[in-house]
């Protein structure tokens, strides 16, 4: 459970949602290339964007001040 003190400290959250999609024939490098394109666009100042051909592509959105919820369901973790 998130404490009120932590919410006061951390919120509003900054969140970036990135979605990448490929077909069953897409190789890992093609997916990584999409992620690198999103990274370049974020560094260039874009806060929203997409590029796709129906079954292969990406979309992303930056939210500068989200009231939540957090994407994570525990205080800390790593896989």
Name the least confident of 9-13, 17-21, 30-34, 72-76: 72-76
Angle at 53 between CA 29 and CA 36, to 5 degrees: 35
Rg (Cα) of the chain, in Å, rounded? 16
pLDDT level of residue 2 (50, 70, 90 thresholds):
low
Give 38-71 pLDDT, tens digit per residue.
999 999 999 999 999 989 999 999 999 999 888 8
pLDDT at 7: 82
Cα four-point dihedral sign 18, 23, 28, 32: negative
Sheet holding 57-66, edge to edge: 13-21, 57-66, 48-52
pTM over 0.85: no
Phi first, then psi, for residue 43 (nearest 5°) are -65, -30
Q: What is the mean pLDDT of the chain?
A: 92
């Amino acid at each position: 459970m998130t404490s009120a003190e932590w919410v006061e400290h951390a919120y509003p959250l900054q969140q970036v949602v990135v979605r990448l999609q490929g077909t069953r024939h897409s190789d890992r490098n093609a997916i990584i290339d999409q992620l690198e394109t999103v990274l370049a666009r974020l560094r260039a100042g874009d806060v929203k964007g997409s590029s796709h051909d129906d079954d292969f592509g990406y979309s992303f959105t930056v939210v500068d001040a989200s009231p939540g919820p957090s994407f994570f369901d525990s205080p800390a973790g790593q896989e």
